[in-house]
Amino acid sequence: MLMKKIFYIILGTVFTSFFMMNTIFAKDLQLDKNEITDWNIKITCDTKDLKNSQEINFKFEKNENVVSNKFAPGMLATADIVIDSSEVNYPIDIIANINDTCLYNNFKLTLYLNNKLYKPGDIAQIDVNNVNSFNSENGKNILKLVLEWINNDEIDTYIGTNINTIKLPITIEVKQHI
């Protein structure tokens, strides 16, 4: 009889615990929009959204021996890619990579992030810095591409007569810093 009472007490405790656990987990949690962090990264070049485009407009340095807005051996071309995190509430990492095996040997692509030399593949942590979120003043990061065309007569002639487009295989990844 005592064993039967102990069994019922244990069984009652198990049912009560299960019922209580069940009630706790059955409730829906709700978070207000103000409690959810924002994530809206915009990547642009000359105001062109690069999420749907792969075309980057380079600005060519002036050269008295070359027609305006044309790229030729011995010149530099630059493009500024804006990584806008002004609608993000926490630190981010920016990672840019170049597949330079696809570039001709006489092209050199150098990257600068916020005016500092950037080594492709490195993780650049961008902190929020003493505020609750990025804003229009501290949320814009500039990735500058500097393309140099190094003189090499043989390859220069081939490129000048056979190539219509120079592809720069670059990837930009922006993710939450953890």
In a domain, 21, yes or no: no
> Per the structure block, which two tokens stand in for 67?
């027609």
Query: What CATH number does the domain containing 89 carry?
Result: 2.60.40
**Domain membership of residue 100 as a residue range:** 37-176
- Using CA atoms, how far apart are residues 129 and 34, in angstroms rounded to an integer? 20
In a domain, 18, yes or no: no
In a domain, 141, yes or no: yes
Q: What pLDDT, in 10s, does the model give residues 104-159?
A: 888 889 999 999 999 988 888 887 665 566 666 777 889 999 999 888 888 888 88
In a domain, 165, yes or no: yes
Burial annotation 102-133 (CB, 10 A radius, 16+ → b, else e): ebeebbebbbebeeeebeeeeebebebeeeee
In a domain, 31, yes or no: no
In a domain, 26, yes or no: no
In a domain, 22, yes or no: no
With 0.95 as the threshold, say if the pTM is over it. no
- Using CA atoms, how far apart are residues 168 and 145, in angstroms rounded to an integer? 10
In a domain, 3, yes or no: no
Q: Lowest-confidence range among 51-55, 85-89, 92-96, 127-131? A: 127-131
Q: What pLDDT, in 10s, does the model give residues 59-82?
A: 988 888 888 888 888 899 999 999
pLDDT given at position 35? 58
Q: Which residue has the higher pLDDT, 131 or 175?
A: 175
Report the domain count for the chain. 1
